[in-house]
Structure formats: C-alpha cells, structure tokens
Amino acid sequence: MYMREKRVDRGDHLDVVNPYTGRSVGSVCLDRRADVEKTIARVKTYDHRLSPEARKTLLARTADTLETRKQEFATLITSESGNCIKDSLKEVDRSLANLRLAAAEAIQLHGEALSVAVGGSRKMAMTVHEPVGVVCAITPFNRPLNQVVVKLAPALAANNGVIVKPSEKTPLTALAFAKLLIESGWPHNMIGVVVGLPEEIGPVLVGSPSIDMITFTGGVETGERLAGQVGLKKLVLELGGNDPLIVLGDADLDAAAKLAAEGSLATAGQSCRGIKRLIVEESIADAFVERLAREVQSKRYGDPFDAAIDIGTLIDEAAAQRVEARCMRAMKDGATLVHGGDRRGALFQPTVLDRVSPTTELVVSETFGPIAPVIRVRDDRDAIAVTNATKYGLQAGVATRSFERFMNIATRLRVGGVALMEGPNFDSPQIPFGGVKSSGLGREGIRYAMREMSNVKTVLLPWPGSDGSLQV
C-alpha cells in the first residue's frame, strides 16, 4: 500500500469488509489529528516546480501503468464496494479517460494577453494561471477509484499538491492508486492520503490554514456544514442529485426504456448522476412501464464477482434496508410494485415502481438503490414542475423526437445539465459537470476543474514597441 506518515501503532485499525460476503478484505491504520497534520505539512513543502510537460508525461505514464493493472484495480473496487465486476472494469476505463485528458490539458492551462487603456497610456495585461497550493479532495464510497481520479488528476495537472481523504468505507483503492502514482514518478511530497473517521479528521483538514482548497463529493447536509466552516478557502461541492429522465408521448419507447433501466440500475443505483425519477407522460405510461419492466427483469443481480452479474450490492446492509423502507413507504403512498422489491443482506433486487407519488420520500430525497420509480404526469408543463420541485438540480435527460419540445423543457429546468435522448447519467471528462440549488457549486470535468484549482494572476506591462502613450 501507499507509504503514509510513520506513526506509532496504537491498535487503531479500520477493518474493510466486502458487502456481499461480510468478510474482511483489508485493514487500514486510522489517522488521528497528529497524523493528518504531518501529512498536510509534508504536502505543503511541494514547490510547484514540475513543468507542464513533466506533468503531461507523468499523467500519461500513470494512465499507462493503470491500464496494465486494470483487472487488479477492478478486483479491489469490487472487493471493498460490492460493485459488480462489470461496473468496476468500466470504472477503471473512466479513470483512464480522465487521466489521459488531464495529461493533454496539463500543457493547455494558459491565460490571455489584452490591450488595455490605463491613465491615458496603452498597456499589455497578461493573465496566468497559478496553482492554488494544497487541494484537499474528500471523496465518497461509490466509484472508489474514479471519484479519486476525477479530483486528483486535474489537481496534479494544475500543479497543486493534493491530499485525498477517501470514504472510510472504501479506502483501499485510493491507497493503491496513491502508491501507483508514486511508482509512476510523482514527487512523494505532492500527494497525501489520510484515512479516518470523518468527525475526527474532517475538521483538521477543513480548518488547516495550510489547505488552500476543498473539493468535496458527498451528502447535502455534510456539504452545507463544510461550506460554513471553510472560510475563504476555494470550494467545489458536488452534493448529489435527484435526477430525472423525462419521457414524452412522442418518444421512442424502446430506446427510452433501455436508457431508463441502464441509468437507474448502474452501480446498483449508487450514482449521484444516476436516474432517480422517471417522469413519464400519462398517454404512453402503460406502454413504457411494460417495456421498462422487461428491461429490468433481464438484469441479473447477485455475487458481484460473477462476470454474468449486472448489479452487485449496495455499500452495506444498512443502505439496502433504507432503500427497502423507502420502497415500502412509496407503496403505502399509492405506488404499484411492478417488479422486484426483495432484499438479501446488502443485495437489493432491481425494482420497478409505477404510479409513484411525486411527494413520497423515495423520489423527494436522493435514494441510492437499484430502483426505477415512474411518476406519471399530464404534459410538458407538469413534467417541468415535478422536476423542479425538489431541492436538487444536478442533471436531467429528456426522451422525445421533438427538438422544440426538448428545448422548451431544457430552458426551464433548474439543473446543471440537460441531455436529449440520454439519461442524466451521461458522463464525459471533456464537459463541465455540476449542479445548482442543493446539488452543489463549482464544476468538475478535467478542464473546468483545473481552472477551479488555479488562481488567475494579472501581469501588467508597457505596450510593446511604443512609449505606452495612447494615440488618438
């Protein structure tokens, strides 16, 4: 594993458990306040001297090395998170795409030159991007590799030191990736990983004057609390969503049903940008639900290491119990169970619910589980109103053949992104990603994250080739 700060073994270890088997897959020594402070102090010594070309080379080398160890990392992801091996292999591929784009962007982070008039003379103003300093990346349990890479790759590309605090539920992948980075040639004092209980080490990270920026992915309550504590540090928050796929009466229902099933069930529904609500026009709802049920029934769930399995476990049994309870409440509120609903430990059967009330907890709150809840609406206006009714505003998808209807809806939704004939789960490292309202602030996506992780400095010079006087 990655070499962390030397500490006295106090017997404070975290046992990492496979959610499917309940067996230990590793043990990690927990960091305490003094350990975190040592890590911060070490990363603070990074002098930001790596050239853009060196960063490009190191990021590309990191990607190449990770690709040769794809199966190893996918196995580790599945072992500690319960994601099915199919999804874990895809996660490594997404991480590779992020690393390779970051390599390309490392030499593209530049400013501009402007001609300005100042006090009756001409000047040249040049803007340059400088690293913010030390970036602290706090990541969640879902996608334990790519959630780290999404934050760490742009931080390194922008020449920052970076400290990662992975979820205490899935720390092994982050530690293995940090070791891979050092083996790929990154300076040891550029990267730190701390593992511990959030309530103990979180305040140390957030409150440290040596941390210059926090980038956080997690729950709304934690994000709001963090926002009140960071002071004048730079901050990016990705706080999840309640993302809809809106299916209109003129849509290709077979294509929409496939989008709905894939977007609702991938990573066992544990994705901030996954489909959490299916908002379907009443006129085609019966036909759509029939197709959706067939798609969901075709998905196999069970042992996440079985290559034929499409859906693994939730992160733990408590998470599966919460999903089960919300499904039960939704049915009490009038929803009809079309398929699924069974739970075995941390496994939850892929489930379709129809006629879900838009005010039931399952679809008002962000629900992490393999659920496809159908909310029936009268028309476009009703679909817009239901979509905008929650506190979240991350992404949305719209299934329709009409560009005019799509644009009418897209311009009225209070979300960070809208896709035509794609689910809200559409993902590319080349585009900005982030939300509005309680879904967060700032943007991820390699190029956009690099700018978030930089400070702009203006350098003012006399206009070249002249005495600087302004000619009329």
385 Cβ contact list (under 8 Å, min separation 6) = none
CA atoms within 13 A on the CB side of 49: 5
298 contacts: CB under 8 Å, gap ≥ 6: none
CA distances from 121 to 115, 125, 285, 465, 471 (A): 10, 13, 67, 13, 8
- On whether the CB atoms of residues 174 and 164 are closer than 8 A, the answer is yes
Taking alpha carbons only, the member of 130, 147, 242 closest to residue 444 is 147
Supply 33's token pair: 């306040």
- Which among 37, 91, 105, 272 is annotated as catalytic? 272
Q: Which two tokens stand for residue 295?
A: 């798609």
If you search the block for the tokens 């039960």, which residue do you land on? 328
Tokens of 376: 């029936």
272 is catalytic: yes
Catalytic residue among 37, 80, 91, 238, which?
238
Rounded CA-CA distance 1/22 in Å is 22
| Gap between the terminal Cα atoms of the chain | 67
**List of residues 6+ apart from 389 with CB closer than 8 A:** 358
Torsion angles phi and psi, residue 37, rounded to 5: -60, -35
Q: Is 452 a catalytic residue?
A: no
H or E segment and range at residue 237: strand 234-238
Check if the beta carbon of residue 193 is closer than 8 Å to that of residue 163.
yes
Q: What is the DSSP string of 441-462?
A: ES-BSHHHHHHHTEEEEEEEEE
**Cα–Cα distance for residue pair 387/352, rounded to 1 Å:** 19
Catalytic residue list = 238, 272
